[in-house]
Structure 1
């Protein structure tokens, strides 16, 4: 009787949730849609659209604006993008992630007492990628000049009313900021006063950054005056940043503060284009960037859950949560061992095996319907592509010691506070402040999804450039036992958490979606996608819907010791509104529960409505993320 009642309650809850009003209204547009992490940055995208730009132009304008507003990233960070090109019908992957600099070896970091590269400071920096990413996307797929696209960001750099979240983040991190002279100069305008950071609403000026952006535009405009083509002019701006006087000052400032980046590192770096990873889920083609990101883990999880009747289980029922949790744990175990920069892998990574339906069925058989499987390890996908796994013995050594004696954040340290708040409050604060996402679409069929990051607060600013350096080096490992494909090496890209997403239906764009939040990104995006496809939610309802988060994975960010990163089996974040019967059922399954008021992302997404020939925008109710449509 109790089981029947609980099932009825869960089915009723599912029906009510799919019909409920949202806290934010959905966005609607006929001509274009622009969504990102700050309202002012979304306005930058709308300005470019109104001037006749396409979705690529608008996305680049939003990216430039969010970097200028430190949301939470800077111009020295990294950019990962997926673009749908309506002229070719192809989905394109953009890899604008920096690389480890000269001298960045396991021996170097171990000599300094690290078990992982550091979280903060100049030694945490890979080479900057976002500038190159913006210029490349504009050159290949945009229509406007760099001058036009950077105009909103330059206005912001000249002075904008800073928001409370960013201003307070600077104040919280000010003791670390004071270690770096150029960061102190830019970020602490009230040095020596009780509050040294800007106040909310204060006009925050970044003159050094403005000068750098002016130099990029100057290089482009000078080339145009000299009768160069649009692409050649954009390349001139690119070269000035990576090979010219901007590079000189960036490298000087980085090395003065103890960094490793050289002029050769900048000059040798290039943006890469790729064919994204893709699987088909019940007739929908889902695209992610390849194994230098964690993106394929969501594709693996979709392949696994395809073996179960999720709709019958009911949205966020104990059975559903247990299935989703273990599916993600299985996919993350493979991510943690097999993913890394394919250009540097010791042998070709078994990605076709990892993404095969046969392998997913084998992994799905490991899910225990009665309790959490705490002993999940990497699987063996090699037979599914006709190869023998050269790492079978190493996987046996894979250290999965689960520390259940204490709590650990579900989020990277850069996205949480440095105050003495309770862990849950720190987690919630991260949801308001984290790495951003950018979504854009237009009436001509261009669709863009970007998850940029790096150079977050507190950041080391490189000399007088105004540019905060990346901290992505910490996503490498130093011990090949953890992951033989992701060991740090000069010129190598770390395996990142950053994971834009796109889905096509009947060969046409269906969804573009992304989210902030370190290791939680593909967890939240998986559930968002299932909310729409399995439970019939609108894009706004799916963006706001309650998600779960697992901690049964190796953390990609935060902490320089093994104990900081090890998986915690059964750690589960739930919504505070989770019914008591569900809580009790999950406890009996072996889960250790934490609760949050908002567990929905924050996800930003665009749904392309083929029936009505319109665009729907969705943006989670977690923070300042929102957009504009027309």
Structure 2
């Protein structure tokens, strides 16, 4: 059974796929101007900040994987660290046993701007003014508001009115929720980028110097001053049910810059799959591939119960290891070589049987890892009462988890169509020269913290991914990067093919990306078919988002799966949830094959589009 909502885009000049059609077209416009994939990705990334403000913003973060033609894959780490004042004791003194999911106290150093600038400086060809032009245009003159933005604003409108007046001033014009489909603008954000450009161009003598000047203006000039002042002067309501000030200060911003680093990689069926390091969850995709290497997936129906069960059980093992071992490698000794080894995968693979696992089962590597029993104690506790309110800090899944009997087996859960308010974006680009980029921007959601009035954007809340427990790889420490869910995948084949692929989705990013990749590799689906195929996911791990709860044994599937698949998975003991059709995953992908550039984008959410020629 194959699904396809639209054709796979194919051409020879270049292609872009992203989670919003305006970002895809803005990026394609850079290619048409003579720019390369790096120019295009930067222009698309800044456009995403404007047209998907409920999914990312200038105050957020981004990992980027890129491959210059004929060269190796590299990673740009655009994940900013915790402030120097962010200690476990500092949070405990304020009565907090978890980092809130919203507000100023959960902010890390914004990393997206500097990461995009580093990529543009070293690998782009167009001027900073040129690549920022689409974002500035849409911020100043407006863009059509997608329904999900209006829905998110409506969900937090009362919070804006009563607690976050600067957000109300931006997102509730005339004190009303804006109308879907109508033009919506953020002129303050446009003014911020115009001012930054003027300052950078006044200091920079050439293209590279201008970009470097922009980095200084952001980290040490008026942008940093506004961020630090807002964190110092404001105490704002967050998911803890109390008001807290931020911990970021000017030194935190001035002393951080994005970095480039080598990718982590693993071979799989002729492909070499590249991911960011263990400061992200990226290696869990590689661990899943290592486990699945021992199964004959070519022989399995990609919508059948054997495929779903096998892939899900592998995910449970890999994500258990993520929770026990992963953390910022600058602070934590992560045994990544062991975790990605064939011998370790062979031992772990033996745990995958015919029945669903209902336990979190990480591996044992002497001398490494944290206290999983303590993490499970926290993850399985009832959520705090204030966490059940109208807004939360995490990325979306399905918000209504009330168990209901269904036709899919014992204990099936039927999910409604309500959406949690946070998410992520994604963009992939390949140009005619063979340059490739993939990026997953997130954070700084309009609902994450109040708008900084002078800047027109808000800060991210990625610190909620830290544990306020000593001795864990993911424990909070000053200057430490949270182990982010943001993940990018760039694969190269022995025959010269390249594939840039990814998705929003928090803890599901390295599930949904993997599912599309496996269907492309084993079932021969083209990129669009692999993206359109029915989605599934498991929450069999402590969530990375406040309030950090786990739902062991759960397996949610879109109702598009055959009935026989649901019945058999129920027999195997999975705690099934039936989700609305076209509700799980937002994968996009761009690849090369036989001299052609091809692309596909997700119809889910009715925002993502691929363009190319």
In the superposition, the TM-score normalised over structure 1's length comes to 0.87
> How far does the alpha carbon of each residue in 1:559-586 deviate from its partner, in whole angstroms, 9 at most, with x for none?
2xxxxx3432211101213333322222
Q: Which residue of 2 aligns with 1:577?
A: 560
1:535, distance to aligned residue in structure 2 (A): 0.8
Give the alignment partner of residue 440 of structure 2, picking from 428, 437, 451: 451
Give the alignment partner of residue 37 of structure 1, picking from 5, 19, 29: 19
Q: Which residue of 1 aligns with 2:522?
A: 534
Q: Which residue of 1 aligns with 2:407?
A: none
> Is the 2:78–2:258 contact (alpha carbons within 8 Å) kept by the matching residues of 1?
yes
> Is the 2:76–2:259 contact (alpha carbons within 8 Å) kept by the matching residues of 1?
yes
> Is the 2:423–2:442 contact (alpha carbons within 8 Å) kept by the matching residues of 1?
no
Query: Residues of 2 paired with 1:171 and 1:421: CA distance?
Result: 21
**SS of equivalent to 1:117:** coil
Give the alignment partner of residue 342 of structure 1, picking from 321, 326, 329: 329
Q: Which residue of 2 aligns with 1:288?
A: 275
Give the alignment partner of residue 588 of structure 2, picking from 586, 601, 604: 604
> How far does the alpha carbon of each residue in 1:600-626 deviate from its partner, in whole angstroms, 9 at most, with x for none?
5110001211x2x11111112202111
> Is the 1:286–1:501 contact (alpha carbons within 8 Å) kept by the matching residues of 2?
yes
In the superposition, the TM-score normalised over structure 2's length comes to 0.90
Q: Which moved more, 1:306-315 or 1:142-151?
A: 306-315
1:507, distance to aligned residue in structure 2 (A): 6.8
Q: Does 1:65 align with 2:43?
A: no
Q: Which residue of 2 aligns with 1:206?
A: 186
More helix, by proportion: 1
> How far does the alpha carbon of each residue in 1:443-470 deviate from its partner, in whole angstroms, 9 at most, with x for none?
1011000001001131322241112110
> Is the 1:412–1:517 contact (alpha carbons within 8 Å) kept by the matching residues of 2?
no
1:26, distance to aligned residue in structure 2 (A): 1.9
Question: For residues 215-364 of structure 1, what are the structure 2 equivalents within 5 Å?
Answer: 215-224=195-204, 228-257=205-234, 258-345=245-332, 348-364=333-349
Q: Which residue of 2 aligns with 1:50?
A: 32
**SS of equivalent to 2:173:** coil
> Is the 2:396–2:506 contact (alpha carbons within 8 Å) kept by the matching residues of 1?
no
Q: Which residue of 2 aligns with 1:95?
A: 77
Query: Residues of 2 paired with 1:377 and 1:419: CA distance?
Result: 26
> How far does the alpha carbon of each residue in 1:409-442 deviate from its partner, in whole angstroms, 9 at most, with x for none?
9x98544599989798977554997311011110
Query: Residues of 1 paired with 2:210 and 2:57: CA distance?
Result: 24
Q: Which residue of 2 aligns with 1:3?
A: none
Report the RMSD for the aligned CA atoms in angstroms. Answer: 2.6
**SS of equivalent to 1:217:** helix
> How far does the alpha carbon of each residue in 1:54-80 deviate from its partner, in whole angstroms, 9 at most, with x for none?
011011001101101215111100011
> Is the 1:412–1:556 contact (alpha carbons within 8 Å) kept by the matching residues of 2?
no
Report how many residues are paired: 583
> Is the 1:58–1:440 contact (alpha carbons within 8 Å) kept by the matching residues of 2?
yes
> Is the 1:127–1:261 contact (alpha carbons within 8 Å) kept by the matching residues of 2?
yes
> Is the 2:100–2:393 contact (alpha carbons within 8 Å) kept by the matching residues of 1?
no
**SS of equivalent to 1:90:** coil
1:24, distance to aligned residue in structure 2 (A): 2.3
> Is the 1:173–1:418 contact (alpha carbons within 8 Å) kept by the matching residues of 2?
no
Q: 1:305 to 1:293 in 2, by over 3 A?
A: same
Give the alignment partner of residue 549 of structure 1, picking from 537, 542, 545: 537
Query: Residues of 1 paired with 2:395 and 2:346: CA distance?
Result: 35
Query: Residues of 2 paired with 1:433 and 1:208: CA distance?
Result: 22
1:200, distance to aligned residue in structure 2 (A): 2.1
Q: 1:575 to 1:442 in 2, by over 3 A?
A: same
Q: Which moved more, 1:506-515 or 1:549-558?
A: 506-515
Q: 1:405 to 1:213 in 2, by over 3 A?
A: closer
Question: For residues 72-111 of structure 1, what are the structure 2 equivalents within 5 Å?
Answer: 72-87=55-70, 89-111=71-93
> Is the 2:280–2:484 contact (alpha carbons within 8 Å) kept by the matching residues of 1?
yes
> Is the 2:392–2:421 contact (alpha carbons within 8 Å) kept by the matching residues of 1?
no
1:108, distance to aligned residue in structure 2 (A): 2.0
Q: 1:463 to 1:488 in 2, by over 3 A?
A: farther
**SS of equivalent to 2:73:** strand
> Is the 1:252–1:463 contact (alpha carbons within 8 Å) kept by the matching residues of 2?
no
> Is the 1:25–1:540 contact (alpha carbons within 8 Å) kept by the matching residues of 2?
yes
Query: Residues of 2 paired with 1:189 and 1:425: CA distance?
Result: 36
Q: 1:60 to 1:535 in 2, by over 3 A?
A: same
Query: Residues of 2 paired with 1:125 and 1:362: CA distance?
Result: 39
Query: Residues of 2 paired with 1:159 and 1:262: CA distance?
Result: 32
> Is the 1:544–1:600 contact (alpha carbons within 8 Å) kept by the matching residues of 2?
no
Q: 1:239 to 1:402 in 2, by over 3 A?
A: closer
Query: Residues of 2 paired with 1:570 and 1:121: CA distance?
Result: 32
1:551, distance to aligned residue in structure 2 (A): 1.1
> Is the 2:83–2:249 contact (alpha carbons within 8 Å) kept by the matching residues of 1?
yes
> How far does the alpha carbon of each residue in 1:34-60 deviate from its partner, in whole angstroms, 9 at most, with x for none?
221211121211221111110110110
> Is the 1:250–1:463 contact (alpha carbons within 8 Å) kept by the matching residues of 2?
no
Q: Does 1:190 align with 2:174?
A: yes
Give the alignment partner of residue 363 of structure 2, picking from 356, 379, 394: 379
Give the alignment partner of residue 510 of structure 1, picking from 498, 512, 530: 498
> Is the 1:188–1:198 contact (alpha carbons within 8 Å) kept by the matching residues of 2?
yes
Q: Does 1:494 align with 2:482?
A: yes
Q: 1:299 to 1:417 in 2, by over 3 A?
A: closer
> Is the 2:288–2:314 contact (alpha carbons within 8 Å) kept by the matching residues of 1?
yes
1:475, distance to aligned residue in structure 2 (A): 0.9
> Is the 2:392–2:546 contact (alpha carbons within 8 Å) kept by the matching residues of 1?
yes
1:358, distance to aligned residue in structure 2 (A): 1.1
**SS of equivalent to 1:123:** coil
Query: Residues of 1 paired with 2:539 and 2:192: CA distance?
Result: 40
Q: Which residue of 2 aligns with 1:122?
A: 104
**SS of equivalent to 2:273:** strand
Q: Which residue of 2 aligns with 1:6?
A: none
1:405, distance to aligned residue in structure 2 (A): 10
Query: Residues of 2 paired with 1:166 and 1:599: CA distance?
Result: 16
Q: Which residue of 2 aligns with 1:137?
A: 119
Query: Residues of 2 paired with 1:425 and 1:158: CA distance?
Result: 42
Q: 1:390 to 1:32 in 2, by over 3 A?
A: closer
Q: 1:557 to 1:549 in 2, by over 3 A?
A: same
Query: Residues of 2 paired with 1:247 and 1:578: CA distance?
Result: 49
Query: Residues of 2 paired with 1:127 and 1:145: CA distance?
Result: 26
1:221, distance to aligned residue in structure 2 (A): 1.9
> Is the 1:27–1:618 contact (alpha carbons within 8 Å) kept by the matching residues of 2?
yes
